[in-house]
Every structure is written in structure tokens, then in C-alpha cells.
A and B are shown apart, each in its own frame.
Chain A
Amino acid sequence: MKKDVQVKKGAQGKKPVQNKKAVFLGSAVVLLAVFVFGAFLYTSEKLDKSAKAAERNLALLLREHAPKLGPADAKVQLVEFFDPACGTCREFSPFVKDLMKSNSGKMRLSLRYAPFHRGSDNVVKILEAARKQDKFWETLDAVFASQPRWAPNHKAEVELLWPHLGNLGLDLERIKRDMYAPEIEQVIAQDLADAKALNVTMTPEFFVNGRPLPSFGYEQLRNLVNDAVAKAYP
């Protein structure tokens, strides 16, 4: 017989409701504050740690074997860990090129492989084999341009990629022979090991003179590069 318990406006005095609202809002604010403060603490500590680690590990970043662009005596070293099947890496590619152009002579780009997508290690092998024919950068452009066609559902399918490499003057038969060379296997293993040591879990990941991005984004990368250029070339 006491079914109609809900919402009896008269039964609840004005005061307790006010108190309840205060308790509710107060706890919401406290919860959010803890979250924001925790996030702030965590990211600043992580940034601190990774900046220190990256500077200590400059040797891990600048490997002899990595494909490079820009003069060897450039004072700003940009290292990018990338995955040929990663959509964001594709989006960043023209942006990085622009950065290189507007700071030409002052920057050197090293590309490191982080083939996290399934099957994309095979694409890396093709890139490395194309490098033996001095066509690395053209092939990389073609790989990125056709990425939606050969990487459906985030899985790299080499068979779908071959048709898009036809116009580059590559000796495809030679690539198919070269791509399984043990030294290419070693390059991938080394890059993946370095990525792990540097805590690279997502692509693309950038390091400017050893410093990682404070947070991910175009602007953050541009700022980091501009700061490093301003410091190195006053």
C-alpha cells in the first residue's frame, strides 16, 4: 500500500534537498579535481621522465641504418617512428615535408620503423628493398598515397600494394628477391627494440633532438621544431 513513495515534493523538506545538492555537486567537483590534478601530475612526470630518457638514449634514436633526409651537419635532428599502414602517419607526411622545407639546411629527418599494424612489416621490407634501388622516398610517397587501397580494415595486404608501385621505375622482381634479406629483418627488429626502449607505443611518434612531443598534434610538433631551430641557429 506504500507503492507511491517516489517524488512526494511535500514529504521532502526544502533544507535536506539543498544539502543533498551541495553534497552531490561537492563530490562531483572533488572527483573531477582529483582527475584533472592526477592527469596533470602524471603527464608532467611522464614528460620529465621521457625527456630525460630520450636525451640519455640519443644513441637509440640516431641509428646509422635509418633512412635520412637533410644535411648530415644539421643541428636539429627530427626522428620519426612510423608505420606505413598508419593513417595518421600518412596525414603527417606532407606536414613533415613542409617543416623540412621551411627549415631547409638546418634539419635532418631520420625515419624509424614501427610496424604495429598487422602485415605492415612486409611493407617496410618493400621500402627497404626499394632503398637498395635508390627509390626509397618515391616509394614511400606512393605507399602513403595508395594506403587506403592496400590497408583495408587496418591490415596491410602486400598483394594489393604492388599495382601502385608500377610507375616508379622500380625493378619489382628484384624487390621481391631483396625484401626477405636478413639485414632488413634486422633493421626492423632493431627499430622495434628501440621503439620499445623509448616507450613508443603509437605512431607517428616524433623526437626533436631527443625530446618527445609534449602532447600529440601538428602545432606541438611545429613548436618543438621551431624552438630547437631557434636554439641551434640563433
Chain B
Amino acid sequence: MSTSEPTEQDHSLESAWTLVFLAWLIASASTLGALFLSQVMGVVPCVLCWYQRIFMFPLVLILAAGLFPFDARIVRYALPLTVVGWMITFFHVLVAAGVVPEAVTPCAQGIPCKEQAIEWFGFLTIPWLSLIAFSLIGLLLILTHFKVSR
């Protein structure tokens, strides 16, 4: 098994590494994007945005730690953060869309979560970007799980 010939297992490990690496890329881009919005552009994050940050920012470090050396258990550690972050984001999207009334959310005071600071191409708002990021990270991690357990 331990010859220089690449085995099938090596191949699936290779692609699992790539999947986690892509998840890390998305988490890093999201984190830097969030920091850009708040620290450079001066957009004040609402309460729900803060909760999403709490679940997105650590992914950058946890996923990176799982890459070197590659540790397939990274899925166990990163997926709970991703799932909870995804649920908060989904709730935020509902608030922004007006499905959930703002009054029952914790952001009625201070910065309203319903108000949208940016809107790209007419539909891409911050909560949508966040939902896309969490969804992709979750998807990549689930794929990783199947790659290594097969």
C-alpha cells in the first residue's frame, strides 16, 4: 500500500482535502467581506449579523487547522457551527423578506435587521450572501464526509 503509486484511498483523501480547502476559502472570503463592510465601509452589523459572525469567523481557523495535516474529523467539528449559522441566516433572510415581523425579533432596537445596507444586482443582500456562504460550506463538508467514509 505504501508505495509511491497513488492508491484509490489517496485519491479520495486528495479530493476531500480540496473540498475542505474550498470551504475554508468561502469562510475566509465571508469573514473578510463582513469585516470590510463593518470596519471599512462603516456598516454597523445588526444583532442577527453578529450571531452569524459568531458562527462564521471561527470556521476560518478550525477549517485551516483541519487541513494541515488533513484530519477528516474536521467535518464533526465544523458542521455544527455551519448548521447553526445557517439557521440564524435563514431566519435573517425571512426577517429581511418581511415573512417574520421585525417586532418579534431581537433587533427591533438599535440597528434594524430588516433594513438592507447593500443590494447587488437587485437581489443579493447581505443575509443572502451569508446564506449562500453557509449553504456552500455545509454542502462541501457533507461531501467531505462521504468522500472519506466511503
> Which residues of A approach B to under 8 Å, CB–CB?
2, 5-7, 9-13, 16-17, 20-21, 23-24, 27-28, 31-32, 34-35, 38-39, 42-43, 201-202
Chain A residues positioned under 8 Å from B14 (CB to CB): 16
Give complex CA distance A16, B29 in Å: 24
Whether the pair B13, A11 counts as a contact (CB closer than 8 A) is yes
Contact A42 B67 (CB under 8 A): no
* Any A CB within 8 A of the CB of B36: yes
Distance A5 CA – B16 CA, assembled complex (angstroms): 11
CA distance A202 to B44 in the complex (A): 10
The interface residues of chain A lying within 8 Å CB-to-CB of B72 are 5-6
Q: List 5 A-B pairs, minimum CB-CB distance, nearest first.
A: A39-B40, A6-B72, A35-B32, A10-B2, A6-B71
Interface residues on B, range: 20 to 34
Asked if B70 is at the interface (CB within 8 A of a chain A CB), the reply is yes
Describe A's contact surface by its main secondary structure: helix
What chain A residues lie within 8 Å of B150 (beta carbons)? 2
B83 interface hit (Cβ, 8 Å): no
Question: Whose C-beta in chain A lies nearest to the C-beta of B64?
Answer: A24
Closest-CB distance, A28 to chain B (whole angstroms): 7
Residues of B within 8 A of A35 (CB): 32, 35-36
Cβ-defined contact, B9 with A20, below 8 A: no
* Contact (Cβ within 8 A) B40 A20: no
Residue from A12, A42, A43, A202 in contact with B13 in the complex, judged by beta carbons closer than 8 Å = A12
Minimal Cβ-Cβ distance residue in B for A10: B2
Taken together as a complex, chains A and B put the C-alpha atoms of A21 and B67 apart, in Å, by: 9
Per the bound structure, the CA–CA distance linking A115 and B69 in Å amounts to 54
Interface presence of B55 (CB below 8 A): no
> Across the interface, which residues of A come within 8 angstroms of B42, CB to CB?
201-202
Is the CB of B17 closer than 8 A to any CB of chain A?
yes
Is B107 at the interface (CB under 8 A from chain A)? no
Residues of chain A with a CB closer than 8 A to B73's CB? 6
* Complex-state Cα separation, A20 to B14, whole angstroms: 10
Question: Within the complex, what minimum Cβ distance (angstroms) separates B62 from chain A?
Answer: 14
A7–B9 CA distance with the chains assembled, in angstroms: 12
Q: Is the CB of A7 within 8 A of B71?
A: yes
B40:A43 contact, CB within 8 angstroms: yes
- In the complex, chain B residues 20-43 whose Cβ is within 8 Å of any chain A Cβ: 21, 24-25, 28-29, 32, 35-36, 39-42
